[in-house]
Amino acid sequence: MRACSLRMPRRVCGCVLLAGAFLTILSGCSSYDWWRLKNDNKYGTTHPEEVVTQVDYTVPVNATIEHDPDPIQTMQPRTVLSDKDGACEYWDMSVEEAIQYGLMNSKVMRKLGGTVIRTPEAVTTRYDTAIQYTDPRTGPEAALAAFDAEFATRAFFENNDRAVNNRFFGGGTNFFVQDLNIYQTELRKRAATGSQFSLRSNTEYDANNAPANLFPSAWQTNIEAEVRQPLLQGNGLLFNRLAGPDSVPGVYNGVVIARVENEMTQAEFELALRDFVSDIVNAYWELYYSYRNLDVLKKARDRALTTWQSYDAQFRENRVDADREALAREQYYRFQLDVEAALAGRPTIGTQTGTGDGGGTFRGIGGVQTAERRLRLLMGVPITDCRMIRPTEISIEQPEIIYDWCAISAEALSRRPELRRQRLEVKQREMELAAARNYLSPRLDAIGLYRWRGFGNDLLAYDDPDPLASAVGNLADGEFQEWQLGVEFSVPLGRRLGHAAVQNAELLIARNRAILREQERQIVYDLSNAIAEKDRAYLAAQTSLNRFKASYNLLRSLDEQIDLGRDIDLDRLLDAQRRVVAAEVDFFTALSSYQVAQKNVHFEKSSLFEAFGVYLDGASDEMIPPITPAAPIEPPPAPAVSQDSKTPGDNFASTVSYEKPTIDRIETVAEALPTEQFNATPINWSEFAETDAEPLASEYVTVGQKNAVANEAVTSSPGWGARGDDQPKQHDESLQATPVDPFATSVE
């Protein structure tokens, strides 16, 4: 009866211990999750008492995938055949609007050339920073998890029935029967100094038939606390925050290194975003040039058609030979072919970041339809719809902006994300070297353990005065206490692995420092090229404009001789027409090149975001300087548009002015310059006006009210339009800054 009466309390106590363990686990998890849900936005992802580096702009993780429209459900693409004679609706757009559309519609930082198809793993997305931060292997959260407290519990139930040869080992019997239950609970925690703290509870129930037992069944319980402190290898706050606990040489994943890697991922995201914005600007000016090129070629084709019709009529009257008529006809079809190519284009690589200069050298190839599809791809809008995107940045008067070389070179070397990432790489390698040197020390751990024991007939007995009636009561009395002190020592003879780790870390530091120096040289080289290209494009625009004036004077003079009935050389007339086309195309090529070159200067000195009003949300002051909105700028009055004008797109003669944010630089080298506003001198287009053409608006191109900065000194000079010394008295409509209708009906 005694043995039977003890089985029920034993089972009840076992169930109580298991239930308590599970409740402890559940309550601990729920309370911790509740704290994180409540305080993550306030304190980040760590406890407020921890002194850690703040991660500034980790992208929030959202598992809900938004529905994207089916890319197959789009309109038939525009081609040179489908839109040869058809009109379309225009979508007038500024470069800032194109960037805004691109940023709003981009989960992926798009690149031209099909990179997302060939190497999707190399494409940057807006989720990359959060993915690295939450990486369960190398992320900061994974590094912090090594210091989390851990709770463990175990329960084992055994029934032993055996025969023993020696009664002594059987407790006085040769047939040993035992009912054994073991309950273990442990809470362990690793400190940032490398110390390991453990608190354990061991409870054992033993009921057997050994006649030498004090009780037929008994409970044993103990609580022990253990501390293990590394004294040499693995000791110290620095090593554990750099390499992490239980690390091996060459594999370092401490909290500090993990966060440095996260900062490097953020720099890579900023790089991809900068290249993406640069590609949008490149595609925008490619489309602008394509419209202007098409406009020039259409007017040249119409001139050639007029010439052909004139000589065809003379040929029919036997006034000229057939070769003259054929030569004029060949000129017309040559320009017609150029018009078709300028309208459709070919899917070649256009101006792209990374080709030529860092931000891309303007190529000026491709047609309107190809360039428009390329811009739509980058903007994330449907590849084809009922509208055609038409740039609104059409002002020809451009000021010459002169940069202070010392200021912008210092700015580029201090703000470029490539250098920031490489400096973080060097810092990481230096941290790894400090961690690797720790492995040159032997492993020496000090161990201390203290244990309280309890023994009793029952686990709990409230009304029995016997000191051995309750194991828990006996434990509380503190009658049985034990302790243990010791050391553990181990060392690999020769320490080959430790020396290799140190040498490898030193070589990596030397390599990354050499790369950093070479990157600085490359950035200065690229910035020099950007400044030189800006000046070349500006001068080329001036020269091309003067060349156009001269070629137009030549063509006008020949046309006047024809009007007076004089006989002229047809070859000379056709050559003059080609010269006018080439000069005007070169002018718009230089104009677009100048815009791209200006963008590339901002690209090289890492002020591209500020130049186009892009702010990286959540970025720290060390990465992106704060932006102060510029004062409103009064736009110039729109020109009066004649209702009788036949020029395509006259309803869009006025340009759209926009505000550019000013910049408060971080690096202060000198006193700030006074605020200035730079205006370009407009061209007096009235001197060129024809009877059927509208004069261009006297518009000033405002670069913006610059908050002058210590890193940049900018001056302006009058635009190239004000420098022409040999302006002709008449003006061809080809120089009017009006948008082009590429789908106007062809003249047959």
pLDDT tens, residue by residue, 510-567: 999 999 999 999 999 999 999 999 999 999 999 999 999 999 999 999 999 988 888 8
Using alpha carbons only, how large is the chain's radius of gyration in Å?
40
User: What pLDDT was estimated at residue 86?
Assistant: 52
What sign for the dihedral angle of Cα 165, 169, 175, 180? Answer: negative
Residues whose CB falls within 8 Å of the CB of residue 594, separated by 6 or more in sequence, listed in order: 398, 534, 537, 538, 541
Residues in the chain, total: 748
Q: Is the pLDDT of residue 399 over 60?
A: yes
User: What pLDDT was estimated at residue 174?
Assistant: 86
Helices (H) and strands (E) in the chain, counts: 15, 12
The larger pLDDT score, comparing residue 118 to residue 73, is at 118
How confident is residue 123, by pLDDT bands cut at 50, 70 and 90? Answer: confident
pLDDT tens, residue by residue, 586-626: 999 999 999 999 999 999 999 999 999 888 875 544 443 33
pLDDT tens, residue by residue, 568-588: 889 999 999 999 999 999 999
Burial of 497 (0-12, 13-18, 19+ CB in 10 A): middle
Question: The domain 96-132+261-424+508-735: what is its CATH number?
Answer: 1.20.1600.10
Percentage above 90 pLDDT, the chain: 48
How confident is residue 412, by pLDDT bands cut at 50, 70 and 90? Answer: very high
* Residue of 596, 20, 646 whose CA lies nearest to 302: 646
Whole-number Å distance between alpha carbons of 708 and 705 = 9
Give pTM, 2 decimals: 0.71
Question: Among 77-81, 147-151, 317-321, 742-746, which range has the highest average pLDDT?
Answer: 147-151
How confident is residue 705, by pLDDT bands cut at 50, 70 and 90? Answer: very low
CA distances from 480 to 25, 448, 449 (A): 30, 18, 14
Whole-number Å distance between alpha carbons of 192 and 276 = 41
pLDDT tens, residue by residue, 198-241: 999 999 999 998 888 888 899 999 999 999 999 999 999 999 99
Whole-number Å distance between alpha carbons of 288 and 88 = 17
User: What pLDDT was estimated at residue 159?
Assistant: 93
pLDDT tens, residue by residue, 290-304: 999 999 999 999 999
Whole-number Å distance between alpha carbons of 202 and 224 = 8
Q: How open is the CA angle 372-373-377, to the nearest 5 degrees?
A: 120
Three-state helix/strand/coil letters over 390-425: EECCCCCCCCEEEECHHHHHHHHHHHCHHHHHHHHH
Backbone angles phi, psi at 732, to 5 degrees: -80, 150
User: What pLDDT was estimated at residue 462?
Assistant: 75
Tokens representing residue 49 in the block: 């008492």
Burial of 602 (0-12, 13-18, 19+ CB in 10 A): buried
Whole-number Å distance between alpha carbons of 538 and 558 = 31
Tell me if residue 614 falls in helix, strand or coil: coil
Tell me if residue 175 falls in helix, strand or coil: strand
* Residue of 392, 398, 354 whose CA lies nearest to 113: 354
Please compute the mean of the pLDDT values over residues 684-702 and round it to a whole number.
32
Burial of 298 (0-12, 13-18, 19+ CB in 10 A): buried
Tokens representing residue 6 in the block: 């003890």
Please compute the mean of the pLDDT values over residues 370-375 and round it to a whole number.
92
User: What pLDDT was estimated at residue 694?
Assistant: 32
Residues pairing with 185 in the sheet: 153, 201
Burial of 347 (0-12, 13-18, 19+ CB in 10 A): exposed
The larger pLDDT score, comparing residue 669 to residue 638, is at 638
Spatial strand order in the sheet of 443-456? 150-163, 175-190, 196-208, 217-230, 443-456, 480-490
- What are the structural domain ranges in the chain? 96-132+261-424+508-735
Spatial contact of 604 and 523, defined as CB atoms under 8 Å apart? yes
Whole-number Å distance between alpha carbons of 161 and 173 = 12
Spatial contact of 142 and 135, defined as CB atoms under 8 Å apart? yes
pLDDT tens, residue by residue, 311-365: 899 899 888 889 899 999 999 999 999 999 999 888 878 787 877 677 888 888 8
pLDDT tens, residue by residue, 164-210: 888 887 778 888 899 999 999 999 999 999 999 999 999 999 999 88
* Residue of 239, 257, 248, 240 whose CA lies nearest to 135: 257
CA distances from 715 to 534, 628, 632, 703 (A): 14, 21, 21, 11
The larger pLDDT score, comparing residue 222 to residue 66, is at 222
pLDDT tens, residue by residue, 432-457: 999 999 999 999 999 999 999 999 88
The identity of residue 166, as a single letter, is N
User: What pLDDT was estimated at residue 477?
Assistant: 86
The larger pLDDT score, comparing residue 398 to residue 332, is at 332
CA distances from 306 to 2, 76, 192, 193, 302 (A): 124, 35, 86, 89, 6
* Residue of 382, 231, 370, 182 whose CA lies nearest to 294: 370
Please compute the mean of the pLDDT values over residues 112-134 and round it to a whole number.
85
Q: Is the pLDDT of residue 657 over 70?
A: no
Average pLDDT, the chain: 76
User: What pLDDT was estimated at residue 719?
Assistant: 53
Tokens representing residue 595 in the block: 């815009």
Please compute the mean of the pLDDT values over residues 669-675 and round it to a whole number.
28
Q: In sequence order, which ranges of 648-719 are alpha helices (DSSP H)?
A: none
Residues pairing with 400 in the sheet: 717
* Residue of 292, 281, 366 whose CA lies nearest to 611: 281
**Residue found under tokens 């800006």:** 534
Whole-number Å distance between alpha carbons of 640 and 183 = 93
Q: Is the pLDDT of residue 637 over 70?
A: no
DSSP type of residue 628: E
User: What pLDDT was estimated at residue 225?
Assistant: 96
